[in-house]
Amino acid sequence: MDHFSEIIVSTVEKTKSAVVKIDVFKKKDGKIQPAGSGSGFIFSSDGYIFTNSHVVKGADKISVFLEDNTQTEGFIIGTDPDTDIAVIKIYTSGYSVANLGDSSKLKIGQLVVAIGNPYGFQHTVTSGVVSALGRTLKTDSGRLVDDVIQSDAALNPGNSGGPMVNSDAQVIGVNTAIIQGAQGLSFAVSINTAKEIAGHLIKDGKVSKAYLGVVLQEITLNQRIINFYGLANSKGLFVVSMENGSPAQQSQLLGGDVIVGFEDSVVNSTSELYRLLGKDQINKKSKLSVIRNTRKLDIDVVPQLLAA
């Protein structure tokens, strides 16, 4: 077997037993009926599972199938439509736990493997490379999901909620979407974002985060800009666009600006900015540090709570 195949086989072997199939049922005319399926993966020894919010939305009953096809009931702990992350829990034994990695260490071109249940075919494996990092993805519902990993690993309906894994068998993303009609584009919410969301959902059942309403892309900063302004950054967040009526649009932020700081903190990635936008920042005037052309500016913005 060639080295490339050995890496993928080893990665799958170390991860697949933590991957689950999720069947969703909803009431219609007083009867429980099948309403779709997706994927998920167990990330804690006490039975917590990551999946997508859209997979379990409106579910009246959830069935979870382990690798050996053992079926058990799943219970929703909380969902966050703004990141398309949900946490459900099972009360059983005989499962493995996925090894969670650090998505901030990802590099463009890095090998990734996706495991899921497209069209009900359990534990289907595809592979590809990281195509881009730090994307902001607009979902079909119109919501902006930050800190998205773009890859060319093939995904299909039913893959949603499954793990994206690196060559060290560490989960670095939660597969979340494909663009219908596009070729070779798939997306995953970074595991760093998912881990933070899980903390909120397990503790409070919901997420209260400040919202700016801006589409971002991570870029590498020019070394001359870094040296001239004495920046601690290596990267910044390029403002692609802003939502109509959003806090960002109501500020003096412009498309083409590059965000390098929030309040007194350096911002290198969308996940760093997302962490800084805690509930304490809601309705509070805050400072964005940006590079505009060759000038460094501080812009006031008032983040808001995004309604569910």
Measure the N-to-C terminal CA separation of the chain; round to a whole number of Å. Answer: 50
Q: How many other C-beta atoms can be found within 10 angstroms of the C-beta atom of residue 83? A: 27
Q: How many other C-beta atoms can be found within 10 angstroms of the C-beta atom of residue 149? A: 29
CB within 8 Å of 282: residues ≥ 6 apart = 208, 210, 303, 304, 305
Question: E strands along 159-203, which residues?
Answer: 163-166, 171-178, 186-190
98 SS3 class: coil
Q: How many other C-beta atoms can be found within 10 angstroms of the C-beta atom of residue 43? A: 22
Cα–Cα–Cα angle for 114, 83, 281, nearest 5°? Answer: 145
Yes or no: say if 267 and 260 are a contact pair by the CB < 8 Å rule.
yes
87 SS3 class: strand
Active-site residue, selected from the candidate residues 84, 146, 147, 257: 84
Yes or no: say if 41 and 19 are a contact pair by the CB < 8 Å rule.
yes
Residue 160 annotated among the catalytic residues of the structure: yes
Structure tokens belonging to residue 290:
């940006």
Active-site residue, selected from the candidate residues 17, 131, 160, 286: 160
Q: How many other C-beta atoms can be found within 10 angstroms of the C-beta atom of residue 134? A: 27
Question: What is the enclosing helix (H) or strand (E) of 54?
Answer: helix 53-56
Active-site residue, selected from the candidate residues 54, 246, 271, 289: 54
Which residues are 72's β-sheet partners?
64
Residue 54 annotated among the catalytic residues of the structure: yes
Angstrom distance (rounded) from CA 306 to CA 283: 11
Q: Which amino acid is it at 149?
A: I
In residues, how long is the chain? Answer: 308
Classify strands 85-90 and 144-151 as parallel, antiparallel or unpaired: unpaired
Residue 3 annotated among the catalytic residues of the structure: no
| Active site amino acids | 54, 84, 160
